[in-house]
Structure 1
Amino acid sequence: MNYKKLAGEINYFVGGEENIKNVVHCATRLRFNLHDNKKADKEKLENLDGVLSVVVNSGQFQVVIGSHVSEVFKEIQSAVNIDGDKNNTTPSKQKVNIIEKVFEVISGSFSPLLGALAGAGMLRALLALLTMTDILSTDSGTYTILLAAGNAIFYFLPIFLGITISTKLGANPYVGGMIGATLLEPNFIGLLQVRGDITDFLGIPVVLVNYASSVFPAFIAITIYALLNRCLKKIIHKDLQMFMLPMLALIIIVPLTMIAFGPVGIYIANSIGTFINFLYAETGVLTGAILGGGWTFLTLFGIHTGFTPFILENLASGGDPILALVSAAVFAQIGLAFGVFLKTEDKKLKALAGSTLMPGLLSGITEPILYGLALRYKRGLIYIAIGGVIGGGVSGLLGAVATVYAFPSILSVPIYSPLISYVIAMFVAFAVSAGLTLVLGFEDKKTIAMDEKKLESEPSSEKNETILSPLSGLVKPLNEVNDSVFSSNAMGRGVAIEPTEGRVTSPVNGVVTMVFPTYHAIGIQSDEGAEVLIHIGINTVSLQGEHFSSAIKQGDRVTQGQHLIDFDVKKIKEAGYEVVTPIIITNTDNYIEFIDLKSDTVQAKEELLRLVAN
């Protein structure tokens, strides 16, 4: 897979760099916070090769990639210049209610940590397996060193959360990390041994609490810090902000955290933990059935990470039932993939099902199963839900709990207790889902009819399409354009034109699919199927529409040679911007041949490109 090309396409279809407020990634999906979700093209994103699905939830625009998400994220980071402070403080046009905002902050704060948490959890699972089989002694130095590596992120969780929450809320992440670190500072921890349960600050009583591995105190403290930071920025002179903002934040927030935020956070965590354990003890079967059956749908909507703080707080108290219950959904999903793999005679589908099994079994990443199989064959969702309900119910009945945070998989089995109870419950979830798939099948008549219709409608003969030049000027190879997204062919193949006059005409007969508000870019889908992007100049979006005017709008039907956009070549150059204009066929992969008909110069409405579709 060409990650650079995919990253460029995703960047373009979410509305471009100027529409991205922030972007992070979790185990399987890119999580964008956009200034305006309406500028993103959900349908085009879902049709990209390498994108499993797109979910818009809790204010986030989530692009599901699968296990290769980190590679795509790196390419987006290298191609997109996002100013953290600017983008996080610019008001967004999204209307998000308070519940959605809370889930957005929780999700955005934990997403960067999920890989580290899961990796540390898997290390703890490996240590548990090695000690259970007497391969490694708990008294050895090797065990102690590896245990320290596995425990570190959980013990110092307030520091990591201080960084990620501050980043999410647009405050200084290092100051946030310092606030989290004060909860674990050795002198403060030492007060627990010297003073007992209470000390004072300026005569105000301070209840001493061990904040290691805690979640809610950091959330409360850093949220207040972010609000305070915004207020202080308005009243403190810029030249003094570098040291005044951190100093005042520490002086104000740290004591307040010790006096109020910390104890309140611990009380909230204990109350939630007590309630969850009460439900588990009194109605374990019902709780397990609900979570086991519903977890798949929470994952599809991308809000499953909202449970992470509750899981971590339960683990800090000795054991968590939530992970044990929702694991049933994961193994039910794996069961579906296994059932499809055995049932289908279609080689491509068998390969797809087989390729999704290993990520699920070894790492607990099942989004490829959900979006590649379950959503394609709707019966699969029913089988997964049934398997999750039964497996979760059995897990609740037998009382299985997790002792460490890790994604549910066969490698993380040792972290659950009682081990046999957990294994039985997960086998039931897997077997029910796989069995239903094998016995009842996974394709319905509607799906089969759609697939047959698609095959019948596929063209079998070559089809040529000519693209006229939208501009007059000097023709250049695309690799000479001073923008890596275009020069690398990340958006597709094409050519560039250095225009001699500022008039753009339509290169095809078709429909205008996109006109940027700044008029510097326009997309047209031709009647023959070509998707043409005309991007006037490099970084000219920064002109905010100055020196541009449009004769058309999105949704208009256009004909070859029709006047589209005017721009002032001289004034754009005087403003310091290049006017070289890439003309890109964004769906190049649909064509078996791409013929460049150019000479060194071209006039508007002359033949520029010829495409051959199979």
Structure 2
Amino acid sequence: MSNQNIAKEIVHLVGGEQNISSLVHCATRLRFNLKDNKLADKENLKKLSGILGVVESGGQFQIVIGSHVSEVYKEISKTTNTDASEKSPNEKKGSIGAQIFEVISRSFSPLLGALAGAGMLKALLTILTMTGILSAESGTYFILSAAGNAVFYFLPIFLGITISTKFGANPYVGGAIGAALLEPNFTSLVNNSGDVSHFLGIPVVMMDYSSSVFPIFIAISIYAVLDRFLKKIIHKEIQMFMVPMLSLVIIVPLTVIAFGPFGVTLGNLIGQGISFLATQSGILTGAIMGGAFTFLTLLGLHWGLTPIVLANLAGDGDPLLAMASAAIFAQIGVSFGVLLKTKDKNLKTLAGSMLLPGALSGVTEPIIYGLVLRYKRTLPYIAVSGAVGGAIVGLVGAKAISFSFPSFLGIPAFSPMGLYTIAILISFVCATLLTVVLGYEDKQKNVEANKTESEQQSLKQEVILSPLTGVIKLLADVEDEAFATEAMGKGISIEPTVGKAVSPVNGVVTTVFRTGHAIGITSDKGAELLIHIGINTVKLKGKYFSPVVNEGDRIIQGDLLVNFDIEKIKEAGYLVTTPIIITNSSSYTDVIDTNKETVQEKDDLLTLII
């Protein structure tokens, strides 16, 4: 399915544009703020081709897309007002904690690419200087170093812009507040005035705000409230200059007098607290971080650590990111283990395609949602391997010295590099071996392989009949990656010769796509099926499809579901190859295809084994 079609289906299934308050994206997820989460069709979103998972966390409705999330976001933005700021009276704000996580996520998400790119550049410079390829005294080094350091040094400016945008205030005034903390005349006071200066006779504790996080969060939160208040009391004709002027006059002094020192002190206390825990028991702290980080990622809460990490990096380094790295490499190890162990060509391709982005860029959410949640037996492998690697990181006192997504390319961003490398490799190898030795599928499936044919027959749960008359085609040969890689589930496909589809089971119609090209059914025995007529036929917008059932209809085997015109569809340039997918195939130990080359409607097609 194209990004454009995925975008349209997502907007429809989250309740339409009218249900969207706002939308941003991070490395792999679309993060919606919906007016009413109950209007979103979570189950059908999970079944949609191109979606890896759906998570409700931190007050957000998050849809996991993968590394091409920005492309889907662009398609949604073209047709939908994703920056709508009006809130429905029914919209729930969520708990204080959820709102804080949302602000953090929305503030850092736009900066993600710049932070990651600059961090990798700094890691590259470390390699070049260590190997003697580049001198740390050369002009080339200083120019590239400036490119790598700038986003971190001027972080208060960037955060001033993104936080203001989140709160609906003027983002450029927010940026100006951050810039004031880095303005040369102000920073010279730090060097020339000692620890204290004065503003209208009020003592000002001078501090270095470069790379700081907490002061600007506090300052912009207050500025957003002030901005709304000033717009209520100042005449519209003079708001354009008066509101920004008064905001700067009030917020900048308050920041350097109160918010800034408090924020810096708060960040230092958190950093000291983490350092204290690491000093008291680096092994325990690392084990907890390495073991738990995957579950934080599953809930979308891992971004809550970012301000702490960046605040620590402004000091002498951050141990949290180093400890969490063990979980990342454990996830990569599971993917590599599945790649080594599986004999299924489609699964091998899927594991390999997820392995490379994780290993090279540290983006492992496709592994989590595409493999780990599909084969839940691997979750303990990741927890154990992450805990072991994290404990070793804590033991050797490894820290991140620059911001970088944990990956093989990002290793130079951590110190001591050698000991850190040993720790994360142990985590990687441990997860790989656990996956290869103990397997990634449920134990029941391994037992199934050793049973006699008669015993296997006794395990049959359900036989799915053919909804079509036509020629059998392997799912791997379907010209759509989502189906061919079994990302949506196991099944089979049929090249129909008769333009009608009937129900393959007794059950209930759960989904009838608006375009009529796809129908979802849940059988009485629990099988969830998707009959998807044609490839990319959603683009026909319902032409040549005539559904005769509606969502919620009760059906029995053989009932007519939809009529479709095979020749017209082909003339329009589309394939009529029809995948029949068991979307909850992970609930079964096996899905056995028919051995026939052609089928008539209501012939045996698939056998589902418990």
Match of 2:439 among 421, 435, 441: 441
The Cα of 1:241 is off from its aligned counterpart by 2.1
* RMSD of aligned alpha carbons: 3.0
Aligned position for 2:374: 376
User: Structure 1 length as normaliser, TM-score?
Assistant: 0.76
The Cα of 1:589 is off from its aligned counterpart by 9.4
Aligned position for 2:466: 459
Q: CA separation of 1:259/1:122 partners in 2, compared to 1, >3 Å: closer, same or farther?
A: same
The Cα of 1:291 is off from its aligned counterpart by 0.4
Distance 1:150 1:183 in 2: 20
Q: CA separation of 1:181/1:590 partners in 2, compared to 1, >3 Å: closer, same or farther?
A: farther
> Which amino acid in structure 2 is aligned with residue 4 of structure 1?
Q
The Cα of 1:194 is off from its aligned counterpart by 2.5
Q: How many residues are aligned here?
A: 499
Residues 549 and 561 in structure 2, CA contact (< 8 A), matched pair in contact too: no
1:25 aligns with 2:25: yes
Distance 2:552 2:463 in 1: 29
> Which amino acid in structure 1 is aligned with residue 438 of structure 2?
L
Distance 2:355 2:462 in 1: 27
> Which amino acid in structure 1 is aligned with residue 2 of structure 2?
N
The Cα of 1:415 is off from its aligned counterpart by 1.3
Residues 322 and 400 in structure 2, CA contact (< 8 A), matched pair in contact too: yes
Distance 1:383 1:255 in 2: 52
Match of 1:510 among 550, 562, 567: 550
User: Structure 2 length as normaliser, TM-score?
Assistant: 0.77
Aligned position for 2:280: 282
Aligned position for 1:565: none
Distance 1:405 1:529 in 2: 54
> For 1:63, what is the secondary structure of its paired residue?
strand
Q: CA separation of 1:180/1:507 partners in 2, compared to 1, >3 Å: closer, same or farther?
A: same
- Percent of aligned positions that are identical: 58
Distance 1:531 1:82 in 2: 37
Match of 1:179 among 177, 180, 186: 177
Which digits, 9 at most, give the CA deviation of each residue in 1:513-548, with x for residues without a partner? 9xxxxxxxxxxxx9766699xxxxxxxxxxxxxxxx
The Cα of 1:592 is off from its aligned counterpart by 4.2
> Which amino acid in structure 2 is aligned with residue 461 of structure 1?
L
The Cα of 1:252 is off from its aligned counterpart by 1.1
Q: CA separation of 1:252/1:529 partners in 2, compared to 1, >3 Å: closer, same or farther?
A: farther
Match of 1:396 among 373, 394, 397: 394
Which digits, 9 at most, give the CA deviation of each residue in 1:78-122, with x for residues without a partner? 1212454x33x6556124011111111111111111121111000
Aligned position for 2:352: 354
The Cα of 1:36 is off from its aligned counterpart by 1.2
Aligned position for 2:541: 494
Aligned position for 2:109: 111
1:304 aligns with 2:302: yes
> Which amino acid in structure 2 is aligned with residue 7 of structure 1?
A
Q: CA separation of 1:127/1:280 partners in 2, compared to 1, >3 Å: closer, same or farther?
A: same
Distance 1:531 1:263 in 2: 70
Distance 1:367 1:281 in 2: 31
Q: CA separation of 1:123/1:590 partners in 2, compared to 1, >3 Å: closer, same or farther?
A: farther
Residues 23 and 83 in structure 2, CA contact (< 8 A), matched pair in contact too: no
Moved more, 170-179 or 451-460: 451-460
Aligned position for 1:58: 58
Aligned position for 1:605: none
Distance 1:324 1:82 in 2: 35
Distance 1:454 1:146 in 2: 62
Q: Which runs of 5+ in 2 are unaligned?
A: 449-455, 470-497, 503-535, 565-573, 580-600, 606-610
Residues 547 and 562 in structure 2, CA contact (< 8 A), matched pair in contact too: no
The Cα of 1:492 is off from its aligned counterpart by 4.5
Q: CA separation of 1:204/1:589 partners in 2, compared to 1, >3 Å: closer, same or farther?
A: farther
Moved more, 73-82 or 127-136: 73-82
Q: 1:423-572 to 2 correspondence within 5 Å?
A: 423-445=421-443, 457=464, 459=466, 461-462=468-469, 464-465=499-500, 492-495=539-542, 508-511=548-551
> Which amino acid in structure 2 is aligned with residue 159 of structure 1?
I
Which digits, 9 at most, give the CA deviation of each residue in 1:170-229, with x for residues without a partner? 111111111111111111111122222211111111111110000000000000111111
> Which amino acid in structure 1 is aligned with residue 464 of structure 2?
S
Moved more, 56-65 or 72-81: 72-81
Residues 4 and 490 in structure 1, CA contact (< 8 A), matched pair in contact too: no
Moved more, 125-134 or 187-196: 187-196
> For 1:135, what is the secondary structure of its paired residue?
coil
Which digits, 9 at most, give the CA deviation of each residue in 1:420-471, with x for residues without a partner? 110111111011111011111111155688x99799536373374499xxxx
Aligned position for 2:213: 215
Distance 1:302 1:122 in 2: 23
Q: 1:232-381 to 2 correspondence within 5 Å?
A: 232-381=230-379
Distance 2:443 2:119 in 1: 44
Q: CA separation of 1:590/1:303 partners in 2, compared to 1, >3 Å: closer, same or farther?
A: farther
Distance 2:278 2:379 in 1: 26
> For 2:48, what is the secondary structure of its paired residue?
coil
